[in-house]
C-alpha cells in the first residue's frame, strides 16, 4: 500500500468540506478541538511540571506532521506552542483546564457534526481515523 502524501490527505479531506458554512464551522471548531485535547492532556497530573503529558504528546504530533510535510509541521508546532502558552495562562488565572476543555470539546463537536449535516457528507474520520490528524492541518 503506497504512502499518501500530505497533498493527497488534504485533497481527500477537502472533498467532504466544500460547503462554505461547513468550512467556517471547521475553521473554528477543529482548532478548538485540538486545543481541548491538549487541555485534557495538560490537566493530567504529572511529575516535573504542569503540561508534561501535553508536551510529550505534541512532540509525537509534530513528528507525525514532519513525516508528511515539514512546512505544515512547522505551522502546527507554532499552533501547538500557542495552545501550551494559552493553557499556562488560563491555569495561572485559576481556570479549571479539564472543565473548560470538556465544555469546549463538546460544543465544538456539536458544531462539527452540524457542519457536516449542512454539507450533507459524513465526517472524513469515519473513513480513516488519521483524518483526525489531517483536519487541524487543513
**pLDDT tens digit string along 73-113?**
999 999 999 999 999 999 999 999 999 999 999 999 999 88
pTM of the model: 0.86
C-alpha cell at 10: 488534504
The total of other beta-carbon atoms located within 10 Å of residue 102's CB is 15
Q: What number of other Cβ atoms are within 10 A of residue 111's Cβ?
A: 19
Amino acid at each position: 500500500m503506497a504512502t499518501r502524501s500530505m497533498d493527497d490527505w488534504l485533497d481527500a479531506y477537502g472533498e467532504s468540506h466544500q460547503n462554505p458554512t461547513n468550512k467556517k464551522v471547521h475553521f473554528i471548531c477543529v482548532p478548538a478541538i485540538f486545543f481541548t485535547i491538549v487541555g485534557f492532556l495538560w490537566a493530567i497530573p504529572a511529575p516535573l511540571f504542569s503540561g508534561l503529558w501535553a508536551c510529550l504528546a505534541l512532540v509525537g504530533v509534530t513528528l507525525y506532521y514532519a513525516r508528511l510535510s515539514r512546512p505544515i509541521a512547522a505551522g502546527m508546532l507554532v499552533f501547538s506552542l500557542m495552545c501550551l502558552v494559552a493553557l499556562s495562562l488560563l491555569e495561572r488565572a485559576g481556570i479549571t483546564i479539564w472543565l473548560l476543555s470538556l465544555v469546549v470539546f463538546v460544543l465544538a463537536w456539536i458544531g462539527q457534526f452540524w457542519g457536516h449535516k449542512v454539507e450533507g457528507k459524513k465526517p472524513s474520520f469515519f473513513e480513516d481515523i488519521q483524518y483526525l490528524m489531517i483536519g487541524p492541518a487543513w
